[in-house]
Amino acid sequence: MIIDGKKIAQEILLYLKDEVQKLDTKPTIAVIIVGQNPSSKIYVNLKQKKAIELGMNSIVIEMQKDTTQKELEDKIDELNQNPEINAILVQLPLPKHLDTYKIIEKIDPIKDVDGFHPQNVGRLSIGLEPYSTSCTPKGVIRLLDAYNIDIESKNIVIIGRSNIVGKPLASMLLARNATVTVAHSKTLNIRAITQRADIVIAAVGSAHLIDSDWIKDKAVVIDVGISKSPEGKLLGDVDFESVKDKASYITPVPGGVGPMTIAMLLENTLHLYNLQKEQK
């Protein structure tokens, strides 16, 4: 069965739109983009468009590519102190001269809509409720739940150990009592590991790395990866055609995990807005 991320994301967005309409003020997300990375600009525009469709405010702050560490940190401070701003997102990757970790640490954890702040990551990893959690892993879990795919006691292999996807996803799945293996570029014979998995989640960024030989019969296959073919076509880490008849459930690319990420971002924005209201 093909997991329809677009449909599930749309349902979540409709629910969020209803919730936002009930509020007396609009949740506001501020997105900082440094430099002119074309992919980043596309993502930022999409986030802004969706936020506005839901009735939220979205502010995009464009900074020059030679912005200094201090200028960027000062801008974040300004947003931290502004009570009208509920969520802050710094679009990654940042230009190389900037220290990404220090920038993320500068964001007030209660406004950290991406869930990347060490306080939020730390709380997630020790089983405490963070203010927010990373959007893509959260979206993956929501997809599994939407299709009633059991997580508890399942043998789950994540390929990729980034701070954005692989590691937070491992924490979230452990919290749901899965047995989690995280594979990466130095893992030997990954195929032998994935062949035993009930659920394989690929977050690598290597087009069609995974074919049906990697997958056991009736496994669930979730494809986070996005690469572009020379013709500009979006490709996942999984060779969909090869795997689709062997897997019990599979996400397509595009239309699988991608739409969920943005839905989770806007869900996080509303959640942070509500938390900040409670604290007033």
Instruction: Tell me which of 50, 75, 91, 223 is the catalytic residue.
Output: 91
- 274 Cβ partners below 8 Å, 6+ apart? none
Instruction: Tell me which of 75, 106, 112, 114 is the catalytic residue.
Output: 114
Q: How many CA atoms lie within 13 A of 10 on its CB side?
A: 6
CB of 137 to ligand NAP, least distance (A): 9
CB of 71 to ligand NAP, least distance (A): 26
Would you tell me which residues interact with ligand NAP (CB under 6 A)?
Answer: 136, 159-162, 164-166, 183-186, 190, 203-206, 224-227, 257-258, 261
Taking the least distance from each CB to ligand NAP, the nearer of 165 and 266 is: 165
Note if 21 is an active site residue.
no
CB of 145 to ligand NAP, least distance (A): 17
Note if 81 is an active site residue.
no
Taking the least distance from each CB to ligand NAP, the nearer of 20 and 159 is: 159
Note if 91 is an active site residue.
yes
Residue with tokens 């701070």: 163
Taking the least distance from each CB to ligand NAP, the nearer of 54 and 263 is: 263
CB of 262 to ligand NAP, least distance (A): 8
Distance CA 176, CA 92 (A): 29
Q: How many CA atoms lie within 13 A of 232 on its CB side?
A: 1
Distance CA 5, CA 230 (A): 25
Taking the least distance from each CB to ligand NAP, the nearer of 110 and 143 is: 143
Distance CA 265, CA 249 (A): 25
CB of 4 to ligand NAP, least distance (A): 15
Catalytic (active-site) positions: 47, 91, 114
